Structure 1
Amino acid sequence: MLELNPGSELLGRYVIDRVIGVGGYGAVWKALDKQLNRTVALKRLLKSGAARDEQAQKAMLEEAKKNALVVHPNVVQVYDIIQVDDEHLIVMEYVDGDSLHAHLRELALSSRSVSLEQAVDWLREILEGVAYAHGQRVCHRDLSPMNILLSTGGVPKISDFGIARIIPSKDVAVTPSPPASSQGGTGNPDYMAPEQARGEAADFLSDLFMIGICGYLLLTGRHPFAHPSGLFAIPELLKDESYQPPQPPPPAGLAISDQRRFREYAAVVMRLLGRERANRYQNAQEAIDALDRVIPSVDCPSCGEHVPEHDRFCRHCGVTLAPVPGPAAQEPATVVSGAVSAEELADEGYRLVQAKRWQQAIDAYSKAIQADPNYRKAYWNLGYVYNRIGNPDAAIQILDKGLDLPPSGRDYRAGMFYERSIALASLKRYERALADINESVRLNPDSARSLYFRARISLLQGDLDAALRDARDVLRIVPDHSAALRIIDQISKGSTG
């Protein structure tokens, strides 16, 4: 039988440090990956329940391998699955912080709460991680504050895809999951969606309900199904179709403007908590868009991060924000006789992007290209929109056409290479993505966002030296670029074990 002890070594590669967590599915150990010189977490799978059956265990491990495809800043990455002495361990990203559950408990014990801005930021980032996982057809089924880790930099990361399920496309038959009671724990009973509590199969909308519980906790510090009388158990009220959590009132002491914002954010959370699937947002992006409509937001022109449009400085990289004409600068456009010009159509597309009216923006940019097939700004911005709504194939197709045009203006080509690199990376085509971002950097060597994205790709490919070099170049341009600092910190901690 495999024994793990501090200082022991697995496969000549992983040096065990200490236990950092114990749960129903096994223990998690901190370890050093000697080959890549980085700190990792090793999760040991228990031989119990479904794992007793060899076929079920194989299916579980296959799903874990598919979970490794979920590479996103707000998801704990699965690096590998190893087998030692007939036991399987999952090699994962090591997150150097507590769980959201531990953080909320600490605040509650001292009668403190998460600030409104922090609560919404974390809720949005959790939704972004789930949106990406769902885009890879991965349904978590066990989202709770215990399975959301907070890095020391304050970045939430969704962990524990141990019971995740791969949901095929709609044209593929789906075999319903057995009832929760027969599966040995398909989720935490205090955080299950109502359909899970009834023994039905969990799906993407079940994940959204669980995020709704987390969002309620972030806004109020209370579980929405914890009755104030203390006379009811949480699972009891989750199953009670007549019970609906009260919409939380704004905390005392909030400014009037913040009270309005709180109510609007609370309304988003309450919709996530709809008892019936049809009453919830139908995907995570809809919930993200609803949060963004409370305070309109823009993408920082330096680091590309999402920030409220009224902010004077980017909260991620510190750069001074100023009004910008759009993802691309102005370019002379041909006016079609008797029709609206391509430039006017592109400007309308930009206004629609700011309002998050994505399909109408796509229509406007497409009409701009029809009005002037050589109008490069429209190709660039249309590729940007397709990336924002999670359609990388469409982004690549339109950017291919834009880049096939005769070269005219370094900024336009640099921007199109940048957007195509993002699309390729989202499809895990890292070699092509790296080639495109290299070209974008060549055309615009002082672009902090291009250098930062190249650092991220290098990090994903395990080229730590290249990632470190680009992150430092980003700091040369934007000294307080927090995302670049996080990359350097991550590499540094990995190198020190």
Structure 2
Amino acid sequence: MSNEATPTRIGKYRIDRVLGTGAMGVVYLAFDPHLERPVALKTVRRELLAGEDTSGDMLLRFRNEARAAGRLAHPNIVTVHDFGEDGGTAYIVMEYVAGHGLDTLLVPGHALPLSEAFHWLAQLLAALAYAHEAGVVHRDIKPANLLVTAAGLLKVADFGVARIGSSATSSGWMIGTPSYMSPEQFEGESVDARADLFSAGVVLYRMLTGRQPFVGSPATIRQKIIKDAPARPSEIVSALPPALDAMVAKALARRPDDRFGSAAEWLASLRSLAVSPAAADDDRTIVTPSVYWSASASLPAHATGVGPAPVPVPSAPPSWPPEMLARIERQLATQMGPLASLLVRRAATQTNDLPTLGAQLAAALPDTARLEFEQAFARLTAGLPDMSTMTSSSPGSRVATAAAKVSAVSPASAAGTSPDSAIDQASIDAVAVKLAVYLGPIAKMIASREARHAANFDEFVQRVEDCITDPAQRGRFRHDVDSSG
């Protein structure tokens, strides 16, 4: 779009630049002068309103999006602030999400680690549980409509074809994106919240296997969705546990009655599976786990199906004194609630070094709570009994040494960077720029994540390099980094 075609103002909103264009219209980065904040302003193309859409369906769909999303207020749903018309241009004003669609993070043929797939799915289910309880069925859940911020927060967007309340689609109409549509959507039947769960199942399958479960022309996809079951995820990725095959099969069941009864029910099932030792994987694959767990924690007990019963957690290795973990759990619970026990136990299975344990737990908290926890962790562990009498051959000797020294841990080291690390922010940013050539917008998030866990720059580069699946691309990336050094 040329500069001449970009308006300077729509309604009261100043237009700063184009964020994206699509079949319906243009999305602008705008500025609200009254509240002094950036917003995303989505418009309908004038020619659609003037000529191509004589029935008025396009404007109706646009208004429907504003009504559907406008009644929802949830951290995993894009907030709608306003709707209006200005000189023949209809527009929706939404919160500005500085991020990218989940589709840009899913590389064909590349399966996500379990923790990342669970991370995104849990947030999606939390959003759907809230929307469904409010009477809104999205009907077009797909990665392109799931926005991901640099901090790892997922937000559901584009409620343009959502169903509100008891309103139903006229018989014979198919609404949605073919490769993500439920059988009942293809048949033009009335749909309920379980249609969104089928679509979420397709998203999960894509994340777990790197493949779409249903491919081909719309007619072929329809035939497969209605009559054929896709290959089990474990047939494609052998390391996947059988419990995931069962979860995917339930989500993709042809009959709505055979699927999960609700997003909240599925979320509770996911939480139970996620804490199973078979589902645990390397710490490097975890991306902002605080959002993943808080998504389920934010739901009321009746919605998750889990009341005050304790969450099952993996056992910590014997090198960790139980009283030490209990203290840390109680402190973390002030920021995370009952999920603190799970996070502490999982972290304890991945390290026997006290500062590293604190760093992993701090990384699971939002910025607003991280510093407070780091300071409390240092005070708490500095007061632990002296364990220096433990012998060097004892499995807990490293814990004892760390406990004796933890009072000297600085906030920087508690955040995940070793005191002797040579990784500064400029180096992280430089590597992220080179990584973006191969991984796209997620590169910055990956670089920041790996820097927190690397002891030095060489290890940092190696960890980042391992995130590139193609061997030739890994070689080029390494050459780019080495030649710039």
TM-score by length of 1: 0.54
Aligned to 1:207: 196
- Contact 1:20–1:29 under 8 Å retained in 2: yes
- The match for 1:188 among 177, 180, 184 is 177
SS at match of 2:309: helix
Distance in 1, Cα, partners of 2:148 & 2:58: 32
1:28 is paired with a residue whose SS is strand
Q: Which residue of 1 aligns with 2:94?
A: 92
Q: Does 1:222 align with 2:207?
A: no
Task: Provide the rounded CA distance (Å) in 2 between the counterparts of 1:159 and 1:71.
Answer: 12
Residue 352 of structure 1 aligns with an amino acid whose one-letter code is A
Alpha carbons of structure 1 residues 176 and 252: separation in structure 2 relative to 1, 3 Å: closer
Letter of the aligned partner of 2:230 in structure 1? Answer: P
- Listed as ranges, the gaps of 5+ residues in structure 2 are 292-299, 301-305, 314-332, 338-365, 375-410, 416-485
Distance 1:314 1:57, change over 3 A: closer
Alignment of 1:29-428 (within 5 A): 29-46=28-45, 47-48=48-49, 52-53=54-55, 57=59, 61=63, 64-104=66-106, 107-108=107-108, 112-168=110-166, 174-180=167-173, 186-226=175-215, 232-233=216-217, 235-240=219-224, 241-249=226-234, 254=239, 259-260=240-241, 263-296=242-275, 352=309, 354=311
Whether contact under 8 Å (2:98, 2:150) holds in the other structure is yes
Structure 1 position 477 matched with structure 2 position 372: yes
| SS of the residue 1:354 aligns to | coil
2:273 & 2:290 partners in 1: Cα distance?
Answer: 23
* Matched residues, number: 306
Please list the CA deviations of residues 4-50 of structure 1 after superposition, one character each: whole Å capped at 9, or x if unmatched: 85570223x32212222222322211222222222211111244599
4+ runs deviating over 6 angstroms: none
Q: Contact between 1:133 and 1:139, CA under 8 Å: does it hold in 2?
A: yes
**Structure 2 counterpart of 1:395:** none
Aligned counterpart, 1:453:
none
Distance 1:238 1:62 in 2: 26
The secondary structure found in structure 1 opposite 2:270 is: helix
CA contact (8 A) 1:194 1:239 kept: no
Could you tell me how far apart the structure 1 residues matched to 2:116 and 2:235 are?
A: 15
Aligned counterparts of 2:61 and 2:162: Cα–Cα separation in 1: 11
Deviation at 1:352, TM superposition (A): 3.0
**Aligned-partner residue type, residue 131 of structure 1:** A
Deviation at 1:80, TM superposition (A): 0.9
The secondary structure found in structure 2 opposite 1:131 is helix
Larger helix proportion of the pair: 2
Distance 1:150 1:41 in 2: 15
* Greater Cα shift, 134-143 or 238-247: 238-247
Question: Matched residue of 1:80: which SS?
Answer: strand
- Code of the residue aligned with 1:246 in structure 2: it is A
SS in structure 2 at match of 1:117 = helix
Which AA in structure 2 matches 1:203? Answer: D
Segments of 5+ residues of structure 1 without an aligned counterpart are 169-173, 227-231, 298-307, 319-326, 328-348, 357-445, 451-470, 483-497
1:138 and 1:114 map into 2 onto residues whose CA distance is 29
Q: 1:352 is paired with a residue of what secondary structure?
A: coil
Q: How far is 1:154 from its partner?
A: 1.9
